[in-house]
Amino acid sequence: MTSNRYDVIIVGGGPAGLCAAMYAGRGMLSTLLIERGMPGGELLNTELIEDYPGFESILGRELAVKMTDHARKFGASFLTDNVEGVKRLPDGDFEVKTDMGKTFTAPSVIVTAGGTPSKLGVGGEKEYAGKGVSYCAVCDGAFFKGETIAVVGGGDAAVEEAQYLTKYATKVYVIHRRDEFRASAILQQRLFANPKIEVIWNKTVEEVEGGERGVTGLRLKDTVTSQVTTLPVTGVFIFIGFKPNTGVIKEHVKHDESGYVFTDTSMMTSIPGLFAAGDLRHQLTRQITTAVGDATTAAIAVEKYLAEKKETAGVGAS
């Protein structure tokens, strides 16, 4: 479309957004996807993907290109910009504003803005992302069969993921800056009973060390004595928090205690016409497959929502 009005606007260009754009285009809906960078989201930060059906192994960037091309094939429009806010107007439509001063309107919006894993912010973390540094055990655990790795964190996620990683790694160190975990008691019991896991208390990661082949170790600082030591590992999984990117929604939307958005079975949020899919939605797991599943449902639900809205408006007019 040449105007600033669309049938549906998709906020976020990760796997969920790209899938939603493809299905919306197939449904003959005028579709605009807004992504702040190159389409692909976290796919662009993933070196190799081995858990997406149909591809025994595919580079993250390659899958991102394929999904983007597929959405374009069915007519979706793309804009590189950052969404400042999604606001519902008095007539029930939505206004989407961007940082570059552009404004778009649509009767429906699918928010697929994902979430952001909390980073350590230390040297080597960014350099070795995808080369030994990971934020997802399910995604990357299988790459570390028979190796010695570390998990950083002390909450439920860190403790659960450390347990999961023992399926692959020979040894898993759990590094925590305090002398006790925040994780639930039952999870701690399971962790302490696992012979493959060793807890390193009162330590913070000062630097991720590595070479051409990836991570080789961690520089640790004792929070009590300030002594610095080196821990040889070939991988480090960081679980110190994850924040869903729901700040773009400029109206209260029902969410859980961590900020993840609640939806119904059609992926509609508590705000009529506003749908959510992917990592920012309240659910059990966050994978590429669950993201595209959410998005498929959301896009088809949008098509039905708009048809019913049009039909209702026509009845009212008569």
Q: For residue range 65-116, list pLDDT tens digits in order.
A: 999 999 999 999 999 999 999 999 999 999 999 999 999 999 999 999 988 8
Among residues 51, 136, 156, 222, which one is catalytic?
A: 136
Find the domain containing 142 and state its range. Answer: 133-238
| Residue 140 annotated to the active site | yes
Predicted confidence (pLDDT) at residue 212 exceeds the cutoff of 90 = yes
Q: Is residue 195 part of a domain?
A: yes
Q: How far apart are CA 279 and CA 293, in angstroms?
A: 12
- The CATH number of the domain where 215 resides is what? 3.50.50.60
Judgement on whether residues 224 and 261 belong to the same structural domain of the protein: no
Do 77 and 168 reside in the same domain of the chain?
no
> What average pLDDT does the segment 196-205 reach?
98
pLDDT 10s digits, 125-182: 999 998 999 998 888 999 999 999 999 999 988 999 999 999 999 999 999 999 999 9
Candidate list 19, 139, 279, 294, residue with the active-site label: 139
294 belongs to the catalytic site: no
pTM (two decimals): 0.76
Q: Give residue-wise pLDDT tens across range 262-318.
A: 999 999 999 999 999 999 999 888 889 999 999 999 999 999 999 999 888 776 554
Catalytic choice (7, 19, 140, 279): 140
19 is catalytic: no
Are 173 and 250 found together in one domain? no
